[in-house]
A and B are shown apart, each in its own frame.
Chain A
Amino acid sequence: MLFLIEYDPSTGTTLHYSQYDDTQRAAAESARLERELAVNRAKVDHEVVLLQAPTVEALQRTHARYFDDIEAMIARLERTAALVIGRKERK
């Protein structure tokens, strides 16, 4: 699946999100360019990205910045560290 995202780094906010099937790559790329042009003309510092992932859950894991706030990231880092430490201690 393809995911078109417009993200405002200054606020950590995702302003646009849309999904496309893998067969719609040309349409998704065209939509990305239109959005990039609009952002450039508006002279705003937004990020426009077209990502590919097998599922939205996989995308949320590999590109959490577009979905989670910093507090959620700290919490996940904490959980992951605890899991890794627990696994090592059991060995």
Chain B
Amino acid sequence: MLASSSLLSKSQIDRLGERLKQQVTDEDLKLLNDYRNEFADAYEEVIQTIGRVVKIEPSGRAAKTDRSIVAKLRRESIRLSQIQDIAGVRIVVEDLAEQDRVTSRIAGEFQHVSVVDRRANPSHGYRAVHVIVRVNEKLVEIQIRSTLQHEWAQFSEALSDRFPGLKYGEGHPRHYQFLIALSEWIEAVEGRSGVSGEEADVESDELGKKLSDPRAVVAIMEMLRKLILDAPEG
């Protein structure tokens, strides 16, 4: 495996990140572009490896958007060089068993790998498995989601466009509460990895009671439409 040299030193990358927190200039945007492009070879190698070992052609992006990078730098106390998902790949599989199998196969193919199981510890309701691999000194994040986890994630993202910050726990508490409860309901429907989970740990009000029934899909979606689509924006 070849070690890739970086055009920018680590301290230059982090100083760029500090400037981006304050203001985005054309010059810094071009520098950020150079930095992101350094991940292209690692990203391509990951795509090829996934295709070879699990026969899946994933979707992805070799470079996280400038908007997302700047938002992350401003939202979290993180340095630009620490961001692990500059390059990201996404795989959607049928169920938890397939998710476990694909995770294991992919993780076994890389020398430097860490697996973050967000099914056990969801982040604001987001459940998935992330495999972070280091290729040629560059990190690439591989998101492995079941179909239900994926549909929740896409819905959460779109909802956060409408209600900014929602997916990070900001905005209207009722909307956030619903997203979390919906995530827990999905966990009850598909079970936990290796466990046939049926109990959703949701609140005890009417919403919670309805969500605790895995077959209550129609009622839940009607509540969701009412809660979200009839609500004022912002």
Contact = CB atoms under 8 A, between A and B. Distances in A.
Interface string A25-67: 1000100110011001100011111111110001101111100
Interface residues of A, number: 45
B59 A73 contact: no
A52 B154 CA distance: 17
Interface in A55-91: 58-59, 61-65, 68-71, 73-74, 76-78, 80-85, 87-88
Given A70-B155, A78-B218, A50 B62 contact: yes
B217 A85 contact: yes
B95 interface: yes
Interface stretch (B72-80, B134-142, B221-229): B221-229
Contacts of A68: 158
A81 B151 CA distance: 9
B65 A49 contact: yes
A65 B92 contact: no
A40 B59 contact: no
A74 B92 contact: no
A33 B33 contact: yes
A70 to B, nearest CB: 5
A23 interface: no
A81 B95 CA distance: 11
Interface size class of B (residues with CB under 8 A): 35 or more
Interface string B150-163: 11101101110110
B57 interface: yes
Contacts of B107: none
A49 B157 CA distance: 15
Interface stretch (B24-32, B109-117, B120-128, B201-209): B24-32
B162 A12 contact: yes
B47 interface: yes
B159 A70 contact: yes
21 contacts: A12-B161, A29-B33, A36-B66, A49-B65, A50-B63, A53-B57, A53-B59, A53-B60, A54-B59, A62-B59, A62-B92, A65-B154, A70-B158, A70-B229, A73-B151, A73-B155, A73-B158, A77-B148, A81-B217, A84-B190, A85-B189
